[in-house]
Amino acid sequence: MTHPHHLPSVKIGIVSISDRASAGVYTDEGLPALRDWLTRALKNTVEFEERLIPDEQPLIESTLIELCDIQSCALILTTGGTGPSPRDVTPEATLAVAHRVMPGFGEQMRQISLHYVPTAILSRQVGVIRGTSLILNLPGRPKAIAETLEGVKNTDGDTLVHGIFSSVPYCIELMGGVYLETHEDVVKAFRPKKK
């Protein structure tokens, strides 16, 4: 077993996209929920780059580009702005800065979320790669963050539907990025056995 001090630290961008939270109408719960979940799930030390911004497509795009190209984040998680209302433009901004689309992340998140809300299909969330960064959109409701990352468990804690984070460490490894290890009680990282 690898011990945490042997693991590399990882830079992760977390972006809360909300008109009202960024204007101070309500307190942002997106960044704390992302930070808490990632700190609970990862054995690696995480260096966070945090951004709280309104639903403005050019600003979302420039924020994502900065986190990828200048900050070199291995992973960027956004929350908010994935629905069908006119100001929800997070997927458009994410696709606009994408080099490659990873459709499985959006598909799996909607599968997971259907176990929690019938309106799961209203989230247009996408997963993409830009350079050496993986960008994943999560829905805006703060409780949706743990739900989509962790998946669905029964009352004994057994996994019923895999959370998307199960695939993130292997994805980042295949992209040539850092080696991530998770706490299995939160989410088990799946890596196909080497031949």
Q: Name residue 56's amino acid.
A: E
29 binds ligand ATP (CB under 6 A): yes
Q: Torsion angle of alpha carbons 96, 101, 103, 109, nearest 10°? A: -60
Q: Which does 63 bind (CB under 5 to 8 A by kind): ligand MTE, ligand ATP, none?
A: none
Give yes or no for residue 19 binding ligand ATP (CB under 6 A). yes
Find, among 188, 175, 192, 189, the residue nearest to 72 by Cα.
175
Residue number with CB closer to ligand MTE (32 or 83): 83
Alpha-helical regions (H) of 26-166: 30-41, 57-65, 90-96, 103-114, 142-150
Q: What is the 3-state secondary structure (H, E, C) of 134-158?
A: EEEEECCCHHHHHHHHHEEECCCCC
Nearest to 189 by CA among 170, 173, 166: 166
Range in contact with ligand ATP (rule: CB under 6 A) among 24-32, 43-51, 154-162, 170-178: 24-32
Return the residue nearest ligand MTE (CB atom). Answer: 140
Q: Which does 91 bind (CB under 5 to 8 A by kind): ligand ATP, ligand MTE, none?
A: none
91 touches ligand ATP by CB under 6 A: no
Q: How far is the CB of 117 from ligand ATP (least distance, A)?
A: 11
Q: How far is the CB of 97 from ligand ATP (least distance, A)?
A: 20
When CB distances are held under 5 to 8 angstroms depending on the partner's kind, the choice from ligand ATP, ligand MTE, none that residue 44 binds is none
Among 80, 91, 142, 169, binds ligand MTE (CB under 6 A): 80
Least separation in angstroms between CB 173 and ligand MTE: 26
- Which one of residues 7, 65, 96, 117 is an interface residue with ligand MTE (CB under 6 A)? 117
For binding to ligand MTE (CB under 6 A), which residues are involved? Answer: 80-83, 88, 113, 116-117, 119-120, 122-123, 139-141, 144, 147-148
